[in-house]
Amino acid sequence: MLKKIEFETILPIWRDHLWPGRKSQIEPVSAINSEGLINVTIQGYKPHFFGIYENHELIGVNSCHRTSLKEMRSRGLWVHPQHRHRGVGSRLLLQVFAQAKEDKASRIWTMARQSSAEFYLRLGFSAYKETSQYEFGPHVFCEHLVT
Ligand SMILES: CC(C)(COP(=O)(O)OP(=O)(O)OC[C@H]1O[C@@H](n2cnc3c(N)ncnc32)[C@H](O)[C@@H]1OP(=O)(O)O)[C@@H](O)C(=O)NCCC(=O)NCCS
């Protein structure tokens, strides 16, 4: 079952599983814009956190927040290794499309790790930029229009 969750619920998953040993503090909203630059005004936007539960266990999470009036970032997607390749990640990404429509954003973007970029490309995203500027290796910026 997909539910809206709180930052306090997603934080331990992000800290222990998605970003173990991360040096920078994990904030509810990231200040990175869709070009990979820091813009602290982004932190004024409201974040949304999503989780998928199976038998009361949280098996996948994602979040989104605007980075400008028309742009929505999908951030922090993670699926428990034992539950991968069953469509859980896709469902969590589709939830961001629903939220983007509700918030009238016209473009979704994400900063994908190189190891997961293919996942986004298979779901119709296009890669538009690469960076090695942030922790956890090279990242690929991927985008998708909201129709
Ligand atoms: C990337 C991730 C979220 C995918 O979750 P998932 O629930 O397995 O995704 P889905 O089952 O919806 O996958 C849909 C399709 O995407 C593709 N896909 C999924 N993970 C992939 C990967 N790592 N590499 C390439 N293609 C992938 C497959 O085509 C898959 O269909 P298939 O299972 O029939 O082959 C998951 O592997 C994960 O949590 N990885 C570690 C954290 C991470 O990298 N998160 C993204 C941060 S940017």
pLDDT in tens, 3-13: 999 999 999 99
104 lines ligand 1 (CB under 6 A): no
State the pTM of this model: 0.96
Return d(Cα 98, Cα 41) in angstroms, integer: 24
Rounded distance, CA 108 to CA 128, Å? 12
Neighbours of 127 (CB within 10 A): 14
**Alpha carbon distance 84, 68 (integer Å):** 31
Give 57-116 pLDDT, tens digit per residue: 999 999 999 999 999 999 999 999 999 999 999 999 999 999 999 999 999 999 999 999
Which one of 16, 74, 85 would you pick to mutate in the ligand 1 pocket, going by the greatest count of ligand atoms within 8 A of its CB?
85
Domain 2-145 bears CATH identifier 3.40.630.30: yes
Tell me, in angstroms, the distance from the centre of ligand 1 to residue 89's CA: 6
pLDDT band at 18 (very low <50, low <70, confident <90, very high): very high
Quick check: CB of 17 below 6 Å from ligand 1? Answer: no
Residue 16, pLDDT score: 98
SS (HEC) of 93-128 = HHHHHHHHHHCCCCEEEEEEEHHHHHHHHHCCCEEE
From atom 15 of ligand 1, which residue's Cα is the shortest distance away?
119
Atom of ligand 1 nearest to the CA of 17: 42
Rounded to whole angstroms, how far apart are CA atoms 147 and 21?
38
Report the alpha-carbon distance of residue 81 to residue 34 in Å, rounded: 28
Ligand 1 pocket, residue 59 CB under 6 Å: no
pLDDT at residue 67 in the model? 98
CB 145 within 8 A of CB 106: yes
